[in-house]
Amino acid sequence: DYYVENENINITSDTVINVLEGDWDTFTGYTVSGTLTRADANGKTAYLKLVEQGAGYTDTALYKAVSSVFAGGIATYSKDDVFTENYTGWIFIDMNGNVNASNPLPDTGDYYATTDINVSGNTVINVNEGDWSTL
């Protein structure tokens, strides 16, 4: 991924900006990862959605990740190349196996957890057994 950083650009609807090859910087991003703990979720998968800070779980995901399958009550997840920003993270465990992987949303009986996340470096967000709620 590439981006141009310049704090002096004011873009209006009629603005044309030419970006030259030498103006591009390479962005490697940060990793958001963690360990999820839920004793009754063995064989299940969890889904992470990072949305704009304060947005709900039905809002558009800016980043998504899928966990490993829970085994021994534990799963892990990881998402690379996340831009520096404040997000709200929604993580849910698909307990009934009916998730739409392209737009993961929890439904009745699924466990979920949410937290605000400030990504300014590699970030670890763990969800412990007592942190989950149900819809």
pLDDT digits (tens, 9 = 90+) for 87-102: 999 999 999 999 988 8
Which pLDDT belongs to residue 28?
Answer: 73
How far, in Å, CA of 9 to CA of 18, rounded?
A: 12
How far, in Å, CA of 43 to CA of 34, rounded?
A: 18
Assess contact for 134 and 112: CB atoms under 8 A: yes
Closest CA to 38 of 85, 116, 82, 91: 91
Give percent of the chain above pLDDT 70: 80
Q: What is the pTM of this model?
A: 0.79
How far, in Å, CA of 3 to CA of 12, rounded?
A: 19
How far, in Å, CA of 69 to CA of 71, rounded?
A: 6
From the number of C-beta atoms within 10 Å of its C-beta (0-12, 13-18, 19+), residue 17 rates as exposed
